[in-house]
Structure 1
Amino acid sequence: MSPKALYRTIARAEAVTWTLLILAMILKYGVKVGDWPVSIAGFIHGFVFLSYFATALLVGMNQRWSKRLILTAAATSVIPYLTVPFDQWLERKDKLNGFWRTEATDHPSDNGWLDRTMRWLVARPIPTAIGFFVVVVAVFSALLVMGPPGSSS
């Protein structure tokens, strides 16, 4: 899967999970069916939300986006559906084209530890996917222990 395909898939999944969460909130507060829809949709959305952050970081590093652009990409997940037009903007600006960088080039940053680490990760997609999954699950689990946003302990 290319960087573009991975980013686009996760960006759209993030938008879909926003829809699930909004529908769940309508069911909870409008139809008064209880907390269960938000619990389920919130769980799914939270996991995809964190996955989008990880994907924006990895793809942004691979595509040599600026730190500001990587942070902007990650921030688009906070506003419902913004990941989709941002993805389209990246497409228009030619920020998603290219392959995974698994080999060093003449680019000055290719000798830095961050780029060497990124190349090592993308050259091993299965262990990297498993590692990212484990990290997202760990962060997600820690956030679940802390409780939902706005709750007091």
Structure 2
Amino acid sequence: MISNPRALFRVAATAEAVTWTLLIIGMVLKYVTETTEFGVRIGGMLHGVVFIAYVLVVVALWIDHRWPLRTGVLALVSAIPPWLTLWFERWVDGSEQRGRPQTTWRLTREQPRGPAERVLAAGLARPGLALVVGLVAVALLTGLALLVGPPVGGE
């Protein structure tokens, strides 16, 4: 999976949309039916973790595929409204000109240029270590988000 950026991005985009669904169901249970807030707690935490993982995958693809600014920003912004990552994944996959994710990482074949490409290339050369670093990054960023607290208006 990590060796195939197209599959990795599809999984990340889909997981982000699924966790949006869980969070919305939780919000309906909490605010509409007023039955439980359990769904918001679990759905919100899962969505937060997957959102961070999605952003890390987008940044890796942005660097490796040398996405133009427009494509990279659209990829990031698509995670904010519910389910838009599914549309974006299909939109970008539909055209080479928009930066279709490839089935191999460019930086496994080419010399990196610049610090961001060097860091990503080092991670791609050691996928096990990159996975551990990615999981630690998600955990640290999730912890930071928990310290900061819920969005404005949250309880």
TM-score (norm 1): 0.90
Where do 1:53-132 residues align within 5 Å? 53-94=55-96, 95-100=100-105, 101-105=107-111, 110-132=112-134
Aligned length: 149
Tell me the amino acid that sits aligned with residue 38 of structure 1: V
Identity over aligned pairs, percent: 34
Greater alpha carbon shift after TM alignment, 2-11 vs 115-124: 115-124
CA distance in structure 2 between the partners assigned to 1:99 and 1:47 by the alignment: 25
Aligned-partner Cα distance in 1 for 2:142–2:44: 11
Show CA shifts across 1:35-67 (max 9, x none).
221011000000001110000001121112123
**Displacement, 1:30?**
1.4
Q: Note the residue ranges of structure 2 that are not aligned, 5 or more in a row.
A: none
Name whichever of 48-57 and 89-98 sits farther off: 89-98
Q: Does the aligned pair in 1 maintain the 2:30–2:36 contact within 8 Å? A: yes
Any conservation in 2 of the 1:17–1:41 contact (CA below 8 Å)? yes
Unaligned runs of 5+ in 1: none
TM-score (norm 2): 0.89
2-structure distance, mates of 1:71, 1:129: 24
Task: Give the Cα–Cα distance (whole angstroms) in 2 for the partners of residues 144 and 151 of structure 1.
Answer: 15
